[in-house]
């Protein structure tokens, strides 16, 4: 089969040669041959040296995403090989009930997300090129997992820019609206009407670590979504956990999860977390542990300043409602803010709050959300557990 040729400019970016799969529109010299958006193309250097095989979409600033550095056919066998490699790279985690099967670029399949929740799979086809390979992907997933159902959740502004229709439906078999699964001995529910694939699997190791500090503690799980951290705290022996999220739907699901685990020493509040933290301070309501796991405050570099301000405000307010020597567990889930920048923000908040911060634990992404140093965009999750002490008490 004849494929169009994408020829890159002479001053090819080092990032591309070093293994990064994205080629931007301003890095392309010319395109030879006919193609439709989403088609497979062959990529060459300005000197006509073969660089890779990928798919193209001229409607996207990221015009080409490389799938392989070898001159091979992109077919079902290729998809099978990529998914099998991803599973091998998860080591023992594949024995667990729930994990991320494919993490896009980090697993050599740009635009594809696959999460396993018990007997079901939840998938996202986030680019036109990967969507054109959907039938091969579904076939391989059925062969590997034999799931009861596969739910597709492809939505958002980026998907529309790719020229894709939004989809939230069962594309194979069928399943419940709330998909049951287990993590760390806890029962959870992935919400097919919720965010992303239905549940966030990337914080489970960090939540498990936080359990170690929970015994007898009064806790606040802010931006709780369906309650991952708070449920772990309750399992760890917390005296009480307050769950706060702006989504009534998420709080309703969290209540169901608490029932599944027979947790009663908890309460659920639908509120804006910024406002709630401020009110708790004004009411002098103090906690032993505060957890902050906010959504991404920065989707792009243009929103960095607003993100910095948001992170500082919530962390400052949390430090002010902690008892002396209390614990702050705080996270950032955007690649736009680096580890150092995030920690600098926390330090600034601590200075303003007049507290001493002691590092108890620094966490990140689990093995099924691989971090590839050649692809910085795969490195997004920052997580800290800090002991917060009043300066005057020292």
Share of the chain above pLDDT 70, in %: 99
**How does residue 77 score in pLDDT terms, banded at 50, 70 and 90?**
very high
Which of 68, 90, 109 terminates a domain? The answer is 68
Specify whether 114 is located in the same domain as 219: no
> Which of 26, 58, 42 is closest to 163 using CA atoms?
58
Contacts of 252 (CB under 8 A, 6+ apart): none
Specify whether 139 is located in the same domain as 236: no
| Amino acid 365: pLDDT | 96
Helix (H, G, I), strand (E, B) or coil at 315: helix
pLDDT (tens digit per residue) in 21-64? 999 999 999 999 999 999 999 999 999 999 999 999 999 999 99
| Amino acid 86: pLDDT | 98
Specify whether 115 is located in the same domain as 82: yes
262 or 295, greater pLDDT = 262
Which of 178, 212, 246 terminates a domain? The answer is 178
Specify whether 242 is located in the same domain as 361: yes
Q: Look up the CATH number of the domain holding residue 161.
A: 3.30.750.80
- Count of domains in the chain? 3
pLDDT, averaged across the chain: 94
| Amino acid 335: pLDDT | 87
By mean pLDDT, which of 115-124, 231-240, 334-343 is the weakest? 334-343
In a domain, 106, yes or no: yes
Share of the chain above pLDDT 90, in %: 86
| Amino acid 88: pLDDT | 97
Query: What token pair was written down for 62?
Result: 């990221």
pLDDT (tens digit per residue) in 123-176? 999 999 999 999 999 999 999 999 999 999 988 877 888 889 889 999 999 999
pLDDT (tens digit per residue) in 303-323? 788 888 999 999 999 999 999
In a domain, 185, yes or no: no
Burial class (CB in 10 A: 0-12, 13-18, 19+), 381: buried
Q: How many Å apart are CA 108 and CA 156, to the nearest integer?
A: 22
pLDDT (tens digit per residue) in 5-15? 999 999 887 89
Are 181 and 190 in contact, with CB atoms under 8 Å apart? yes
Q: What is the pTM assigned to this prediction?
A: 0.94
Specify whether 238 is located in the same domain as 296: yes
In a domain, 197, yes or no: no
pLDDT (tens digit per residue) in 192-203? 999 888 899 999
Q: How many Å apart are CA 394 and CA 358, to the nearest integer?
A: 13
**How does residue 298 score in pLDDT terms, banded at 50, 70 and 90?**
low
pLDDT (tens digit per residue) in 225-237? 999 999 999 999 9
Specify whether 356 is located in the same domain as 228: yes
Alpha carbon 341 to its chain centroid, in Å, reads 19
Q: How many Å apart are CA 368 and CA 380, to the nearest integer?
A: 13
| Amino acid 43: pLDDT | 97
| Amino acid 264: pLDDT | 95
Which of 68, 85, 116 terminates a domain? The answer is 68
Structural domain containing residue 253: 202-393
Beta bridge partners of 310: none
């Amino acid at each position: 089969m004849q494929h169009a040729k994408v020829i890159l400019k002479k001053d090819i970016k080092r990032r591309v040669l070093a293994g990064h799969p994205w080629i931007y529109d301003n890095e392309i010299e010319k395109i030879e041959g006919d193609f439709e958006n989403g088609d497979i193309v062959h990529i060459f250097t300005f000197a006509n040296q073969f660089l890779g095989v990928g798919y193209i979409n001229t409607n996207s600033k990221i015009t080409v995403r490389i799938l392989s550095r070898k001159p091979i056919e992109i077919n079902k066998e290729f998809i099978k090989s990529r998914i099998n490699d991803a599973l091998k790279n998860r080591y023992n985690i594949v024995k667990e009930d729930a994990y991320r099967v494919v993490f896009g670029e980090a697993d050599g399949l740009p635009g594809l997300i696959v999460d396993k929740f018990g007997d079901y799979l939840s998938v996202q086809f986030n680019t036109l090129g990967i969507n054109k390979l959907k039938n091969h992907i579904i076939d391989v997933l059925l062969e590997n997992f034999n799931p009861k159902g596969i739910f597709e959740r492809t939505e958002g502004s980026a998907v529309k820019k790719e020229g894709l229709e939004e989809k939230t439906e069962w594309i194979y078999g069928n399943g419940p609206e709330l998909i049951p699964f287990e993590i760390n001995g806890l029962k959870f529910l992935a919400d097919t009407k919720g965010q992303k694939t239905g549940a966030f699997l990337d914080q489970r190791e960090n939540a498990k670590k936080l359990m170690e500090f929970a015994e007898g503690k009064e806790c606040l799980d802010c931006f709780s979504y369906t309650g991952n951290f708070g449920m772990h705290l309750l399992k760890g022996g917390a005296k009480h956990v307050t769950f706060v999220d702006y989504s009534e739907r998420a709080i309703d699901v969290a209540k169901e999860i608490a029932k599944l685990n027979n947790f009663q020493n908890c309460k659920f509040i639908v509120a804006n977390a910024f406002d709630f933290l401020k009110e708790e301070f004004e009411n002098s309501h103090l906690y032993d542990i505060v957890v902050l796991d906010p959504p991404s405050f920065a989707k792009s570099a243009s929103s960095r300043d607003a993100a910095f301000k948001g992170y500082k405000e919530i962390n400052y307010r949390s430090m002010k409602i902690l008892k002396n020597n209390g614990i702050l567990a705080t996270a950032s889930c955007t690649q736009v803010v680096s580890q150092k920048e995030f920690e600098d923000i926390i330090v600034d908040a601590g200075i303003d709050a007049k507290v001493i911060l002691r590092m108890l634990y620094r966490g990140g992404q689990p093995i099924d959300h691989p971090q590839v140093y050649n692809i910085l965009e795969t490195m997004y999750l920052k997580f800290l557990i800090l002991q917060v002490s009043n300066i005057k008490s020292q």
